[in-house]
Amino acid sequence: MHCHRNQTSKPEQQEPDADTLAADSIRKRGRRVNWNGRRANETRKDAHAELEILQELYRQGRTEGRSLKMVVSGEKICPFCREDLPAAAEAAGFEEWTIFEELSGNTLYWKRGSDHFVELEGYPQ
């Protein structure tokens, strides 16, 4: 089980400026840089918790052909992650990804080949 609570609780990365699995997609879409000159989820340093967990599983060789189920609590998944995570999951080799968002009570579902999450009501079956 992997658990990240927020951006400041992440362990220090060996390569904070290394690209994430979503970086190519972020650049292709032409996302503008933030006030700090960076783009959310482009590098490991700027990766939100959901992406950081995916990155760690990928690093461990635990993504190819697999399904991932995740619960996000405390906050809703941000718009950047909703946009970036499908490309990262595709690059990691996942078959599907189900995220239950406790705050909204909704489930986000992604399947290989899709460029977006489908939002479903309630807890995943």
Six token digits for residue 94: 């996942």
Six token digits for residue 111: 């399947």
Under the banding of pLDDT at 50, 70 and 90, the label for residue 35 is confident
Cα-to-chain-centroid distance, residue 108: 12
Query: Would the CA dihedral through 19, 23, 28, 33 be positive or negative?
Result: negative
Backbone angles phi, psi at 116, to 5 degrees: -155, 165
Element (H, E) at 107: strand 106-111
CB 122 within 8 A of CB 107: yes
| Percentage, residues of the chain above pLDDT 90 | 66
pTM of the model: 0.84
Residue 119 has pLDDT above 80, yes or no: yes
Under the banding of pLDDT at 50, 70 and 90, the label for residue 66 is very high
Under the banding of pLDDT at 50, 70 and 90, the label for residue 17 is confident
Q: Where are the domains of the chain?
A: 16-121
Q: CA–CA separation, 96 vs 54, rounded Å?
A: 12
Name every residue whose Cβ is closer than 8 Å to that of residue 101 and which is 6 or more positions away in sequence.
72, 76, 77, 107, 108
